[in-house]
């Protein structure tokens, strides 16, 4: 298969350099995507007040809950395209691509409908305070109208990552990010549109990134060329995408349920605590997205090498990604904690908001590398064909234990510190469980060719 300048041969040669070349643009792309939300929060916090800041922050866990299942399907697209591409199966790669793009648009329409009509009841169920409810509802309704564009971008970038192209998604997000910041400032400061302005700026910038990524696929040659006239759902390819992606999406959704419960618990401490938690969580998001680049790297490299039957490289991919994610998680997390006051002041000048933000960062930032290591293990397991297994482990280890913690330990000691401690404890337990599972499914390491090709 002819290699293009944006593509990467993941199945031959030294791994470390290629992993870094692949992961750094993914990291920067994720950071830029997170800046969409950060720009919303910073502009709202500085120019619209703490109530508006709390309103935007109150929506994040609910947005993740509603979108994670469909975003999980993009993981299925990434795995299957990488596997077929590694096996040099041009026909199957093309069919999976066209199925993925159409599936992404349909997913976006479904999300737009659900998000627009169910926003207010769900926010009420979460216990969102009355002074925040109306603004949070308005923000989410507008935000979800941009879901078709968001899904197109997520699936399109997953397709490009599958063939080793992590640079163009970065370029497209840089363009969209600049537009987002400019529109934020115009809509909020000049036109006084409050949370409606930041939501509108976000969806307009997402439309730009979606258009750019679709155009790039239309100009691709070979297996990953997108022809809009050939858009259709290939049943067998859709089932394969669902087989890998649905457990990933379901896992993300259940994670979000536990986070919704935690957000509901935070809501009980009032809007100032909510604002501090929002700002801290947004800073932590930059650490998470940096670590998540190695999850995506492990997933794609493992999938391509699995498709190419280069099984002996999978253990090396896992080891390198675990080392790199630990270094990034520790260094970024400690830096964020040490400079926490200065970083939080970007979001709000209120000392009480900063105080609450530091409470969260002192626990989450210093232990965040555990979460990154856990995700790398999941990426490799999915790459070798196991999707349901890491989902079950994650649901029991991270989500189940976190929910139990909320209704037991936290209910006995109702402090924010006790609530936040549920994160590192469940990360550690789940990481250990994933490591055990990896050694069980690859217990015949010297006979790795016996690895299954089905999900289990």
pTM: 0.81
11 located within any domain: no
Residue 446 reports pLDDT greater than 60: no
On whether the CB atoms of residues 205 and 177 are closer than 8 A, the answer is yes
Asked if residue 6 is part of any domain, the answer here is: no
Give 349: exposed, middle or buried? Use CB within 10 Å, 0-12, 13-18, 19+: exposed
In a domain, 431, yes or no: yes
Q: Residues 100-151: pLDDT tens digits?
A: 999 999 999 999 999 899 989 988 987 888 888 999 999 999 999 999 999 9
Residue 340 CB-half CA count within 13 A: 25
Non-local (6+) Cβ contacts of 269 within 8 A are 356, 416
Residue 8 lies in a domain: no
- Give SS3 for 316: helix
Distance of CA 356 to the CA centre of its chain: 25
Report if residue 224 sits inside a domain.
yes
Residue 62, token pair as written in the block: 């609910």
Q: Is residue 47 part of a domain?
A: yes
321 vs 350 pLDDT, higher one: 321
pLDDT band at 450 (very low <50, low <70, confident <90, very high): very low
Q: Tell whether the model's pLDDT for residue 334 goes beyond 50.
A: yes
| pLDDT score for 445 | 46
pLDDT band at 189 (very low <50, low <70, confident <90, very high): confident
The predicted-structure confidence for 154-171, as pLDDT tens digits, reads as follows 999 999 999 999 999 899
**Based on the structure, what is the number of domains in the chain?**
1
Contact (CB, 8 A) for 187 and 201 = yes
| pLDDT digits 0-9 by tens, 34-43 | 776 666 677 8
Domain that holds residue 402: 16-444
What pLDDT is attached to residue 125?
Answer: 86
Rg (CA), the chain: 21
Instruction: Give the pLDDT score at 45.
Output: 77
- b/e string for 371-400 if b means 16 or more Cβ within 10 A? bbbbbbbbbbbbbbbbbbbbbebbbebbbe
Residue 308 lies in a domain: yes
Judge whether 438 lies within some domain. Answer: yes
């Amino acid at each position: 298969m002819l290699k293009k300048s944006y593509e990467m041969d993941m199945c031959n040669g030294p791994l470390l350099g290629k992993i870094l070349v692949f992961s750094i643009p993914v990291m920067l792309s994720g950071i830029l995507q997170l800046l969409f939300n950060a720009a919303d929060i910073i502009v709202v916090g500085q120019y619209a007040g703490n109530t508006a800041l709390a309103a935007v922050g109150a929506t994040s866990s609910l947005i993740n809950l509603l979108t994670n299942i469909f975003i999980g399907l993009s993981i299925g697209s990434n795995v299957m395209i990488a596997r077929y591409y590694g096996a040099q199966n041009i026909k199957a790669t093309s069919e999976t691509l066209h199925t993925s793009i159409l599936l992404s648009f349909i997913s976006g329409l479904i999300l737009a409908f659900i998000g627009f009509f169910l926003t207010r009841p769900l926010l009420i169920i979460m216990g969102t305070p009355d002074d925040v409810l109306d603004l949070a509802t308005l923000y989410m309704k507008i935000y979800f109208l941009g879901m078709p564009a968001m899904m197109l971008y997520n699936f399109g970038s997953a397709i490009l990552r599958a063939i080793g192209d992590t640079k163009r998604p970065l370029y497209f997000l840089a363009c969209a990010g600049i537009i987002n910041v400019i529109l934020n400032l115009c809509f909020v400061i000049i036109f006084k549109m409050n949370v409606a302005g930041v939501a509108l700026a976000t969806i307009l910038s997402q439309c730009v990134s979606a258009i750019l990524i679709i155009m790039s696929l239309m100009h691709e040659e070979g297996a990953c060329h997108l022809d809009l006239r050939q858009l259709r759902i290939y049943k067998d390819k859709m089932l394969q995408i669902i087989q890998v992606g649905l457990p990933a999406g379901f896992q993300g959704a259940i994670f979000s349920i536990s986070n919704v419960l935690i957000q509901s618990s935070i809501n009980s401490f009032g809007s100032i605590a909510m604002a501090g938690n929002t700002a801290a969580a947004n800073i932590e998001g930059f650490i998470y997205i940096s670590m998540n680049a190695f999850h995506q790297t492990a997933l794609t490299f493992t999938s391509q090498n699995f498709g190419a039957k280069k099984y002996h490289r999978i253990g090396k991919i896992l080891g390198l990604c675990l080392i790199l994610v630990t270094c990034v998680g520790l260094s970024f997390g400690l830096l964020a904690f040490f400079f926490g006051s200065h970083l939080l002041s970007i979001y709000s000048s209120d000392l009480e908001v900063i105080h609450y933000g530091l409470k969260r960062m002192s626990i989450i930032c210093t232990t965040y590398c555990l979460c990154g290591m856990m995700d790398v293990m999941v990426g490799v397991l999915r790459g070798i064909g196991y999707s349901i297994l890491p989902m079950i482990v994650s649901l029991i280890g991270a989500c189940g234990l976190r929910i139990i913690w909320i209704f037991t330990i936290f209910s006995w000691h109702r402090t924010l510190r006790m609530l936040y401690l549920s994160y590192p404890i469940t990360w550690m337990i789940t990481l250990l469980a994933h490591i055990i599972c990896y050694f069980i499914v690859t217990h015949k390491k010297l006979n790795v060719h016996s690895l299954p090709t089905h999900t289990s």
